[in-house]
């Protein structure tokens, strides 16, 4: 091989150097991987088999690669479950990189522990309290237990993806890559780096007329030092952020090539199928079973008593489920005395009665509530009740598992792939390093896929049978044997002065989860406030349900504020606005929703509007809903939502999420209810756990306020909490009927 002459410059596409590899992370001969570390101390090359498996490729832990075809690939650690996170995260990276959006792709990061985002573990809780009142007493032990769980912090939840990974990783990685590319071009062209512009994955030096694609300088860029804290763009410089760019996942979902967990068909594996049944009451186990009839059915391969569940394995899922329906199982006796819905609410009532006017654990407080009540001109009281709710995602719960030779592979729709890996290790005895979690699209979740039970069950079946197994839960099994949003009762008492202003506020309820500030009316200027928790047993296991505690307390608080407004003889909008004098962002959102809904306009008899405002996950959302009660039953006509998330990255995607949250909230308010009978859940499928239909859904208008220099808020969850109170407040305004129990539909049979 001839040596290069000393006066000849190396090609931009020359072989990657050792310095370039260590400094930036590279794909040898293929592209540049920007090494903004995802976890300090990760060994070089850990990601190579997953992110860059082709022969000769080398890399450092990184978020973005630039191929020689000039395609930018964003490596994303969060799941895509319909919320558009993949696209928005890539959009943030691409803007800082000045990439051509038409040549941006997204790659799901491997679930091997290398793409844990430390910011997510640290910041998952913090956004919930960014704008909380300073007098909240948060349950720090509970919060940091959550953080400890996030040691496997590859999680999608809490409307946190854009606020953590997007702001703290994707933008930084894009900006660092852009600087390195400019530096490489400046050296090659012999011009100041400050004179080089970037646009659409192209480097441009206007004075000399020179230009080149990013791909042309990918290898040379690897020679450049990498700034771990590059200067990020000012909003005035954005080219992609703030624009409604097309989502990268839509084409495959339209043409049917998108792969969800239930689509898993690993090459070379002849799958058997498992249907499972768990005990109807939590904590029970198999006492005995009679599988004689099921064993004789066609296609049945094995029937397993796994202790905490029963499984039938067959040649097809249909055969497995039909055979499972013929298995007679006797379960051990339930441990809890709570067996019915009435018994559950009686337990809550006893706890609240025992707490009385001052008991229970104080969650928040300020001022002198006792003295304020003594001086109040008027006192009002109210009690609200909400039922258990299921998540009901459209994609059934599923997991494909293959266990062999001390190794385990699973293909499953999950929000927490690393937590699944840890749970699989514990459940199977296989070391985590020998477990691979394949992480496809999710067909909805809403918090349902934040646990690992179904994956562990599938792996245990595969381990016991020796077969590659696809386990699918029936809709009935998921509705009746899952994790749930808790039911609860919440009691309020308020004192009003002679002008009708709220001067005393006391609230006590029984179920407190996360986030800590959900139960606190912190946006309002109420001088004397106390919030208490009277703990009581909830029979069914809890799981984060879309917007978590904001889903209950948004309705509790905003319903009671509405009652206070009417007790004061004041307009509910004006009453709220008067209490937002110290919250200008909230006041602006409330004013805007009143404006776009034409709040004060006269309406036909029997038609009225209701209003509510809730801040959750860093986003302020006010909603107005218009209801026609002319038929004696509520018919929703229109819904308006105004949102302030600080700055919205993709307005179209953000509006979609707010609309989805609003409809999700209206569905729960109208129909959502799980009844306990003999300790188990009565409802089983969509015929008796109803969803809001298109012809029942109001026309929705969403407006956005970008208030600027505040932390970015979430999108997936904040649209839900104001929906139920806006609806029930409208029903009261139209009919005079104050609803203090959900769901609504059963009260208008």
Q: What is the torsion angle, in degrees rounded to the nearest 10, for the CA atoms of residue 40, residue 43, residue 46 and residue 48?
A: 100
What is the residue-wise DSSP string for 85-122?
HHHHHHHHHHHHHT--GGGEEEEEPPBSSTT--HHHHH
Q: What angle do CA 629, 630, 631 make, to 5 degrees?
A: 95
Q: What percent of the chain is modeled with pLDDT above 70? A: 87
In a domain, 520, yes or no: yes
What is the arrangement of strands in the sheet containing 31-34, beginning at the earlier edge strand? Answer: 26-27, 31-34, 64-67, 72-76, 104-108
Are 279 and 238 within one domain? Answer: no
Q: What's the pLDDT score for residue 7?
A: 38
Please determine, for residue 276, whether its predicted confidence score (pLDDT) is greater than 70. yes
Do 364 and 497 share a domain, yes or no?
A: yes
- Name the residue with higher pLDDT: 155 or 38: 155
Look at residue 181 and tell me if it is in a domain.
Answer: yes
> Which pLDDT band holds residue 459 (cuts at 50, 70, 90)?
very high
> What pLDDT, on a 0 to 100 scale, did the predictor assign at position 18?
29
Do 672 and 738 belong together in one domain?
yes
Contact 245, 87 (CB under 8 A): yes
- Cβ atoms within 10 Å, residue 147: 16
Question: Per-residue pLDDT for 51 more than 90?
Answer: no
Report percent pLDDT > 90 for the chain.
Answer: 78
What confidence score (pLDDT) does residue 147 get?
47
CA–CA separation, 518 and 501 (whole Å): 23
Residue 144 has pLDDT above 90, yes or no: no
- Arithmetic mean of pLDDT, 474-483: 96
Tell me what pLDDT residue 64 has. 78
Which pLDDT value is given to residue 19? 31
pLDDT at residue number 410: 98
Lowest mean pLDDT across 29-43, 531-545, 661-675: 29-43
In-domain check, residue 702? yes
**Which tens digit of pLDDT belongs to each residue from 56-90?**
332 323 787 887 788 888 989 999 999 999 999 99
pLDDT at 38 over 50: no
- 459, 424 in Cβ contact below 8 A? yes
Q: In this structure, is residue 134 part of a structural domain?
A: no
Is residue 545 within 8 Å of 514, Cβ to Cβ? no
Does the residue 268 lie in any domain? yes
Q: Provide the CATH number for the domain around residue 445.
A: 3.30.365.10
> What is the DSSP secondary-structure string of 609-642?
EEEEEEEETTEEEEEEEEEE-TTSS-EEEEEEEE
Q: Are residues 582 and 658 in the same domain?
A: yes
For residues 571 and 448, membership in a common domain is answered with no
Domain boundary among 411, 437, 472: 472
Per-residue model confidence (pLDDT) at position 335: 87
Of 259, 257, 250, 254, whose CA–CA distance to 413 is shortest? 259
Per-residue pLDDT for 729 more than 50? yes
Q: What is the pTM of this model?
A: 0.92
- With respect to residue 715, please indicate whether it lies within any of the assigned structural domains: yes
Residue 133 confidence (pLDDT): 42
Q: Is the pLDDT of residue 629 over 60?
A: yes
Q: Lowest mean pLDDT: which of 142-146, 237-241, 731-735?
A: 142-146
Domain final residue pick, 437, 472, 507: 472
359-393 pLDDT, tens per residue?
999 999 999 999 999 999 999 999 999 999 999 99
Q: Please tell me the chain's helix, strand, coil percentages from 3-state DSSP, rounded to the nearest 5.
A: 35, 20, 45
Total structural domains within the chain: 3
Q: Are residues 715 and 660 in the same domain?
A: yes
Query: Of 237, 255, 273, at which residue does a domain stop?
Result: 255
Q: What is the mean pLDDT of residues 411-432?
A: 96
Same domain, 447 and 581: no
Residues 294 and 366 in one domain: no
pLDDT confidence bin for 155, thresholds 50/70/90: confident
Spatial contact of 146 and 124, defined as CB atoms under 8 Å apart: yes
Helices 549-567 and 723-735: crossing angle in degrees, nearest 10, is 30
Distance CA 52, CA 40 (A): 20
Residues 32 and 178 in one domain: yes
Helices vs strands, H then E, count in the chain = 21, 28
Name which of 215, 150, 157 is nearest 181 in CA terms.
Answer: 215
724 lies in the same domain as 672: yes
In this structure, the strands spanning 502-509 and 529-533 are: parallel
* Residue 137 is assigned to a structural domain of this protein: no
CA 211 from chain centre, in angstroms, equals 42
> What's the domain range around 446?
261-334+397-472
Is residue 48 within 8 A of residue 42, CB to CB? The reply is no
Is residue 376 domain-shared with residue 405, that is, in the same domain?
no
Beta pairing class for 300-305 and 310-314: antiparallel
Q: Across the chain, which distance is largest between two alpha carbons, in Å?
A: 97
User: What would you report as the CA-atom Rg of the chain, rounded to the nearest whole angstrom?
Assistant: 28
Determine the average pLDDT of the residues in 124-136.
41
Residues 193 and 267 in one domain: no
Alpha-carbon gap, residue 446 to 393, rounded angstroms = 7
For 598, residues 6+ apart whose C-beta sits below 8 A from its C-beta are none
User: Quick one: pLDDT at residue 35?
Assistant: 54
Comparing 39-48, 290-299, 332-341, 528-537, the range with the smallest average pLDDT is 39-48
Q: Which residues of 359-372 are buried (b: 16+ CB within 10 A; e: fewer)?
A: ebeebbbbbebeeb
Return the higher-pLDDT residue of 460 and 59: 460
| In-domain check, residue 143 | no
Half-sphere exposure in the Cβ direction for 487 (13 Å, CA): 26
């Amino acid at each position: 091989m001839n040596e290069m002459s000393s006066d000849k410059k190396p090609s931009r596409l020359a072989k990657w150097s050792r310095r370039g590899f260590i400094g930036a992370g590279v794909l040898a001969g293929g592209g540049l991987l920007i090494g903004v570390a995802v976890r300090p101390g990760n060994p070089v090359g850990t990601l190579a088999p997953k992110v860059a498996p082709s022969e000769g490729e080398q890399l450092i832990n990184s978020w973005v690669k630039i191929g020689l075809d000039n395609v930018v690939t964003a490596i994303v650690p969060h799941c895509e479950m319909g919320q558009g996170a993949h696209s928005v995260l890539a959009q943030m990276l691409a803007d800082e990189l000045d990439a051509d959006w038409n040549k941006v792709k997204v790659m799901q990061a491997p679930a091997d522990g290398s793409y844990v985002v430390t910011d997510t573990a640290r910041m998952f809780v913090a956004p919930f309290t960014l704008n909380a009142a300073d007098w909240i007493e948060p349950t720090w032990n509970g919060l940091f237990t959550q953080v400890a769980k996030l040691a496997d912090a590859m999680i999608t939840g809490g409307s946190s993806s854009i606020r953590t990974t997007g702001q703290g990783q994707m933008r930084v990685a894009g900006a660092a890559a852009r600087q390195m590319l400019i530096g490489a071009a400046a050296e090659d062209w012999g011009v100041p780096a400050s004179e080089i512009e970037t646009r659409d994955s192209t480097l441009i030096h206007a004075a000399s007329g020179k230009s080149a694609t990013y791909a042309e300088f990918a290898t040379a860029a690897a020679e450049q030092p990498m700034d771990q804290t590059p200067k990020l763009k000012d909003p005035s410089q954005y080219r992609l952020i703030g624009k409604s760019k097309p989502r990268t996942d839509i084409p495959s979902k339209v043409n049917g090539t998108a792969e969800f967990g239930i689509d898993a068909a690993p090459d070379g594996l002849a799958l058997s199928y498992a249907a499972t049944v768990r005990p109807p009451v939590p904590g029970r186990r198999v006492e005995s079973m009679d599988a004689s009839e099921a064993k004789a059915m066609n296609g049945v391969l094995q029937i397993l008593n796994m202790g905490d569940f029963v499984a039938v394995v067959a040649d097809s899922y249909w055969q497995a489920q039909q055979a499972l329906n013929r298995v007679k199982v006797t379960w051990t006796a339930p441990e809890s005395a709570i067996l019915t819905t009435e018994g559950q609410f009686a337990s809550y009532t006893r706890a609240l009665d025992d707490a009385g006017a001052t008991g229970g654990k104080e969650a928040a407080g300020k001022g002198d509530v006792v003295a304020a009540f003594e001086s109040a001109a008027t006192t009002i009281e109210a009690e609200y009740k909400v039922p258990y709710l299921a998540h009901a995602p459209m994609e059934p719960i599923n997991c494909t598992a293959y266990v062999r030779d001390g190794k385990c592979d699973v293909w499953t729709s999950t929000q927490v792939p690393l937590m699944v890996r840890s749970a699989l290790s514990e459940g199977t005895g296989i070391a985590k390093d020998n477990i691979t979690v394949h992480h496809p699209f999710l067909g909805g979740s809403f918090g349902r896929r934040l646990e690992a039970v179904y994956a562990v069950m599938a792996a245990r079946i595969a381990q016991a049978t020796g077969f590659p197994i696809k386990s699918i839960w029936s809709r009935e099994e998921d509705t009746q044997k899952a994790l749930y949003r808790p039911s609860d009762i919440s009691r309020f008492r308020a004192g009003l002065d002679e002008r009708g202003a709220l001067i005393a506020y006391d609230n006590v309820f029984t179920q407190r989860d996360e986030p800590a500030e959900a139960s606190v009316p912190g946006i309002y200027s109420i001088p004397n406030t106390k919030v208490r928790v009277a703990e009581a047993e909830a029979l069914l296991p809890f799981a984060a349900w879309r917007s978590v505690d904001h889903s209950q307390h948004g309705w509790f608080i905003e319903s009671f504020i509405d009652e206070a407004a009417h007790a004061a003889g004041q307009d509910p909008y004006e009453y709220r606005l008067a209490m937002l004098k110290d919250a200008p962002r909230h006041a602006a959102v409330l004013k805007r929703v009143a404006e776009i809904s034409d709040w004060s306009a006269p309406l036909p008899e029997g038609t009225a509007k209701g209003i509510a405002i809730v801040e959750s996950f860093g986003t302020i959302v006010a909603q107005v809903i218009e209801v026609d009660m002319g038929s004696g039953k509520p018919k929703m006509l229109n819904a308006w939502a105004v949102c302030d998330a600080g700055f919205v990255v993709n307005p179209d995607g953000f509006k979609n999420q707010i609309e989805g949250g609003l409809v999700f909230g209206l569905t729960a308010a109208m129909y959502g209810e799980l009844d306990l009978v003999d300790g188990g859940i009565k409802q089983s499928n969509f015929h008796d756990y109803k969803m809001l239909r298109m012809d029942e859904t109001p026309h929705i208008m969403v407006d956005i306020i970008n208030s600027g220099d505040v932390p970015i808020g979430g999108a997936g969850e904040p649209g839900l909490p104001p929906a139920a109170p806006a609806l029930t407040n409208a029903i009261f305004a139209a009919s005079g009927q104050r609803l203090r129990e959900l769901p609504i539909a059963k009260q208008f049979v």
